[in-house]
Structure 1
Amino acid sequence: MAIIEFSKDEKDIIIAKVQRYFEDELHQDIGKFDAEFLTDFFSEEIGAYFYNRGLNDAKVLLEEKLADISDALYDIEKPTSFVR
């Protein structure tokens, strides 16, 4: 799996969300360094599970759309005397 990288602005947003979570839910203030360390840990250790789930969801959606296209093509097919 390729490493997923975020821009500095994106990573800052993610880190701020981690800090806000700790403050709102756990009533603990953590610094930017600790939030970034925690973000990197979860990204490396758990990120693949979320990434794979996203790929699976995309695969299911694509298969559904391809089935719709196949049905639409079948609907406009003209009758012929050819045997299938």
Structure 2
Amino acid sequence: MLINWKQEQKDQAIRDIQQFFYDERGEEIGIIAAENFLDFFAKQIGPHFYNQGVRDSQNVVRDRLAAVEDDLYALERK
């Protein structure tokens, strides 16, 4: 798995998945099925969210560096 879960976090995620299945589909799934579902999404879908987070972070850093460059340019003496 790509995520280093704290046990409490993983347990909560599993409970959330079980609750989702019950609320949305009226199905009760066990802990193993919920954990398999969590593992599948972490491996298959997680990288897409991670990569988008990296791209978003790059944009924030790029914008802040541009602002610093503008501030430094404003300090130059003519």
Indicate whether the TM-score tops 0.5: yes
> How far off its partner does 1:28 sit?
1.0
Q: Distance in 2 between matches of 1:67 and 1:57?
A: 16
> How far off its partner does 1:60 sit?
0.8
Q: Distance in 2 between matches of 1:36 and 1:63?
A: 38
> How far off its partner does 1:4 sit?
2.4
| Matching residue of 2:62 | 63
Paired AA for residue 6 in structure 1? W
Paired AA for residue 47 in structure 2? A
Structure possessing the higher relative contact order (Cα contacts under 8 Å, 6 or more residues apart): 2
| Matching residue of 1:82 | none
Q: Which SS does the other structure have where 1:75 is aligned?
A: helix
Unaligned 5+ segments in structure 2 are none
| Matching residue of 2:34 | 35
> Aligned-residue CA RMSD in angstroms?
1.5
> How far off its partner does 1:6 sit?
1.0
Q: Distance in 2 between matches of 1:77 and 1:27?
A: 66
Q: Which SS does the other structure have where 1:6 is aligned?
A: coil
TM-score w.r.t. the length of structure 1 is 0.83
**After TM superposition, what 4+ stretches of structure 1 lie above 2 angstroms from structure 2?**
none
TM-score w.r.t. the length of structure 2 is 0.88
Deviations 1:1-52 (A, max 9, x none): xx32111111112111111111111111111111011100111112111110
The percentage of counterpart residues that share the same residue type is 36
